[in-house]
């Protein structure tokens, strides 16, 4: 049996939660419950926003129900799901507003550093213990 410090166990737990968010988001993309709804562009990087009726937003569709555009949107969703399942991109956060939210995904292939599990440093924890 391998001994792990509390820090390592907590870090593994955070990683497992992050991975589960990636997998659930990929499943929702594959079954059409959420879809790409926007792209946030920053210097040298971009993030993709996904959402749908279950997040309080409308599902994006081609103008006038254009089947060709809808197929392209579905293909983008499948690619995003594959990237999430292969750990190439990750859920990086959520944008929350009144009555709705979107899920943001990104990663190194989009120019954004990989989100790594981290814990408060000992100094921060000590400070929080004294302030609280």
Name the 3-class secondary structure at 22: helix
Q: pLDDT tens for residues 103-127?
A: 999 999 999 998 776 665 555 556 5
77 pLDDT higher than 80? yes
Local structure of residue 129 (DSSP, 8 states): H
CA distance 96 to 68: 31
pLDDT at residue 29 tops 70:
yes
The model's pTM is: 0.81
The partner residues of 28 in beta bridges, in order of sequence, read none
pLDDT for 92 equals 92
**40-44, 71-75, 123-127: range with lowest mean pLDDT:** 123-127
Proportion of the chain above pLDDT 70, given as a percent: 83
Q: How far apart are CA 107 and CA 113, in angstroms?
A: 6
In DSSP notation, 78-128 reads HHHHHHHHTTSSEEEEEEEETTEEEEEEE-GGGT-PPP------HHHHHHH
- Hey, which residues does 106 pair with through a beta bridge? 90
Q: What share of the chain is helix, strand, coil (3-state, %, to 5)?
A: 50, 25, 30
**8 has a pLDDT exceeding 90:** no
**Two tokens at 35?**
């879809």
Q: What pLDDT score was predicted for residue 115?
A: 77
Look at 9 and 77; give whichever has higher pLDDT. 77
Question: Which pLDDT value is given to residue 95?
Answer: 92
Can you tell me the distance from the alpha carbon of 66 to that of 58, in angstroms, rounded to the nearest whole number?
Answer: 16
Among residues 114, 30, 33, which one has the least CA distance to residue 80?
30
User: 48-63: per-residue pLDDT in tens?
Assistant: 999 999 999 988 888 8
Where exactly are the structural domains of the chain? 6-131
């Amino acid at each position: 049996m391998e001994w792990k410090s509390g820090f390592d166990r907590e870090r593994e737990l955070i990683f497992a939660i992050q991975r589960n968010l990636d997998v659930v988001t990929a499943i929702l993309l594959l079954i059409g419950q959420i879809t790409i709804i926007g792209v946030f562009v920053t210097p040298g990087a971009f993030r993709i926003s996904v959402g749908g009726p279950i997040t309080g937003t409308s599902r994006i569709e081609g103008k006038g129900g254009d089947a060709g555009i809808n197929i392209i949107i579905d293909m983008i969703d499948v690619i995003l799901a594959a990237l999430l399942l292969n750990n190439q991109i990750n859920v990086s956060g959520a944008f929350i507003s009144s009555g709705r939210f979107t899920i943001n995904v990104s990663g190194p292939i989009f120019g954004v550093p990989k989100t790594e599990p981290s814990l408060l440093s000992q100094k921060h924890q000590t400070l929080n213990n004294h302030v609280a």
